[in-house]
Amino acid sequence: MSILQTEDPEISKLINAELARQQDGLEMIPSENFTSRAVMEAMGSVLTNKYSEGYPGARYYGGNKFIDEVENLTRDRAKQLFGVAHANVQPYSGSPANLAIYFALLDPGDTVLGMDLAQGGHLTHGYKFNFSGKFFHAENYGVDQKTHLLDYDAIREKAKAVKPKMIICGATAYPRIIDFQKFRAIADEVGAYLVADISHISGLVIAGEHPSPVHYADVVMTTTHKTLRGPRGAMILLPKVADRYHDQYHPKTKRDLAGLVDAAIMPGLQGGPHNHQTAAIAVALKEAATPEFKTYGKQIVKNAKKLAETLVAEGITLITGGTDNHLILMDVSPLGLTGSQAETLLDSVDITVNKNLIPYDPRKPMDPSGIRLGTPALTTRGFTEDDMVAVGKTIAAVLKAPDNETVLSVARMAVEKLTDAHPLYS
C-alpha cells in the first residue's frame, strides 16, 4: 500500500499495526476469520465508485451493465452453493439483513420467538434494547438449566403459549448442533414462519459438518464472513421447499416471499448496494464451492473438538462439556476469574478471545462468567489437531496461573512458535 503510505501515513501505520497483530497472535474469536487476498482485492476495487440503486435490469442509475453482471453472478453462485431458489446479496451486514426479514414477514407489534441473548442468541433475535425487541413483541426461549442444551419440548410449549408469527433459530454462542427439523415442526404447529440465522455455521453447512436448514426454513440468513470466510456482508436465501409461502402471494402486498424480501431491502432499508462488497462475496462463494473449502470446514470442527478435549483434560469447565461445531464456551468462574479478566489476560499473551455470558450467568454482560473462543481463523492459517493441543494447554496454563510471569512468558513464546509455523499472508 505504497500510495496510502504516502497520502495518509497515519492510517497506513495503523493498518500495518493491525496486520502485525493478526500475524503475530492467535485469533480465536469464533465470528472472525481471514479472507483470501482475492477477496480483499475485490473489496478494494473500482466497484466502490458506482451507485446502483435497485436490482439487475431495474436500476435507478445508468451505467450499471457490469454491476448487473457482478450481482447476477453472485446471486447464481449463492443459489447453487446453498441449493436455494432465490438469493438477495445486497444486505450490508447481518443485522440489517435480519431487520429486512422482520419487515418482510411481520408488522410492528407482531410476536417473534427467538433465542435469549443471555443464553446464546443474537441481539436481533429479540433483545429488548434492539429493534427486534423495541418494534416487535419479542419472546425468548433458551437452554436447559442443567444440560445447557436446547430443550425442544420447552420451546414447543413456549411457542404454543405465545403464538408467534415468526420463530427465529440460530445462535452466536451455542456449541452444539441445531435441529432445524424440530424447529420446523414447532413452527408448523403454531402456524409461524421459520427463519434460520446460520451466520456462524454457514461454512460448516457447506462442508457437511452441520445440517442445512434449507429443507425446513422459510427464510435463511447468513453473514458472509465467519466460517464462510468472505468479506463483511450478508445474504438472504429463499429455500426451494418453502411451498407454504414461496409459491403464494402475500395477501396484503400481492408479492411472493422473494418479492417481500427484495422490497424490504430496497427500497425498504437500503439505497445503493456496496458493489465492491458484492464482488468480494462472489469471490468467497466461488472459493466455498471448492473441495478444498469442504476440507477446511471439516478441519474447523476437528480442531474445535481437539481444543475442547484438551481444555477439559486440563480441568477447564466448558458449557455442555465440549462442542459439535466451531466454537467453545468456557466458564472461567471456577478459576476465580471473570470473563473480562480472562479476555484481558489472554490478550496479554497475544491470544484473542471475547468475554461472553454463559447460560444462567449471575454476572453482568460486560463482566460475565465466560469467554467464547473458536477455530475458524486458526484453521485458515493451517492449524491442525496437534497445534490445538498446544493452544489448549497454553490457554489453560495462563488461566490457571494469571499472576505467574514465567508462565505468561512461556505462553508468549508458544504463541510465537505457532504463528511462525503458520504464517498469515506471507
Q: Are residues 231 and 127 in the same domain?
A: yes
Q: Say if residue 249's pLDDT is above 70.
A: no
**Is residue 195 situated within a structural domain?**
yes
Hey, CA dihedral for 175, 179, 182, 183, is it positive or negative? positive
Nearest one of 74, 114, 81 to 98, comparing CA atoms: 114
Same domain, 138 and 85: yes
Q: Domain check: are 208 and 267 in the same one?
A: yes
Please report, for the domain that includes residue 400, its CATH number. 3.90.1150.10
Q: Which of 288, 309, 344 is the last residue of a domain?
A: 288
CATH value at residue 239? 3.40.640.10
pLDDT tens digits, 374-416? 999 999 999 999 999 999 999 999 999 999 999 999 999 999 9
Mean pLDDT of 210-230: 97
Domain membership of residue 108 (yes or no) is yes
pLDDT at 248 over 60: no
pLDDT at residue 426, rounded to an integer: 78
Regarding whether 284 and 349 lie in a shared domain, the answer is no
**Per-residue pLDDT at 253 exceeds 80:** no
> Looking at residues 79-101, what average pLDDT do you find?
97
Check if 286 is active-site.
Answer: no
The answer to whether residue 36 sits within a structural domain is: no
Catalytic residue among 232, 255, 393, 400: 232
Domain tally, the chain:
2
251's grid cell:
395477501
Over 90: is that where the pLDDT of 228 sits?
Answer: yes
pLDDT by residue (tens digit) across 129-182?
Answer: 999 999 999 999 999 999 999 999 999 999 999 999 999 999 999 999 999 999
What's the whole-model pTM score? 0.95
Q: Tell me, yes or no, whether 294 lies in a domain.
A: no
pLDDT attached to residue 338: 98
Asked if 226 is an active-site residue, the reply is yes
Quote the pLDDT of residue 256.
Answer: 83
27, 197, 331, 387: the catalytic one is 197
Residues 105 and 254 in one domain: yes
Out of 51, 92, 152, 245, the active site residue is 51
Percent of the residues in the chain that have a pLDDT greater than 70, as a whole number: 96
Q: Is 53 tagged catalytic?
A: yes
pLDDT of 241 reads 43
Q: Are residues 362 and 304 in the same domain?
A: yes
Tell me the C-alpha to C-alpha distance, in Å, between residue 287 and each of 90, 105, 206, 230.
19, 32, 11, 9
DSSP state of 16: H
Q: Which of the residues 74, 223, 278, 338 is marked catalytic?
A: 223
The catalytic position among 226, 229, 305, 306 is: 226
Q: Which of 228, 259, 288 is the last residue of a domain?
A: 288
Domain, as residue range, for 324? 299-421
Catalytic residue among 41, 53, 110, 314: 53
Based on the residue annotation, tell me whether 232 is a catalytic residue of this protein.
yes
Among 229, 254, 288, the domain-final residue is 288
**Are 232 and 374 part of one and the same domain?**
no
DSSP result, 338-391: -HHHHHHHHHTTTEE-EEE--TT-SSBTTB-SEEEEESHHHHHTT--HHHHHHH
Query: pLDDT tens across 255-288, in order?
Result: 688 999 999 999 999 999 999 999 999 999 999 9
